[in-house]
Amino acid sequence: MESIEIELELTKLMQELQQNTIVLETALAPFTRLIENINNDIEQVSKPFNEKSVKIQKRITELALIRKESLKTGSGNITYVSGAVRRNWDLDALDEICDEDEYVKEKIWNLRDEKEGKPQVRINVETKGKSVIDI
């Protein structure tokens, strides 16, 4: 298939996908509003409990950091994890050094790990402000 044929087919398919998405969004609109109302109600009811939970968790964290040990309780577990040094390397700089020095390359190149990413396609369908007319 030539590039122009692929482009034309992709354009046509995107138009079909756009129309299909608009019809779906239109069909779901009443349910979406119901769900938004329910979510708003849930948010209002849970807000004071969430705020209290945040305060409690903050205090638990403060005490666990002082204690420096994990704790199992009948209500759940508090896990303490001590800090650790994280190492980051400038891989491009290491590659340069390896290109310049074979001895260094022999010592560290076998520690190198690379994974190849696969090509991806992202599809974004514009539907806001558009409508479908059934004929």
The 3 state secondary structure assigned to 68-131 is CCCEEECCEEECCCCCCCCCCCCHHHHHHHHHHCHHHHHHHHHHCCCCCCCCCCCCCCCCCCCC
Of the listed ranges 11-25, 91-105, 121-135, the least confidently predicted one is 121-135
Of the listed ranges 9-13, 43-47, 123-127, 129-133, the least confidently predicted one is 129-133
What pLDDT score does 132 carry?
52
What pLDDT score does 81 carry?
87
User: What ranges do the domains of the chain cover?
Assistant: 3-82, 84-113
pLDDT tens column, 78-97? 999 887 877 888 888 988 99
Residue in 132, 101, 127 with CA at minimum distance from that of residue 32:
127
Amino acid at site 119: P
Residue 21 CB partners (closer than 8 Å, separation 6+): 125, 127
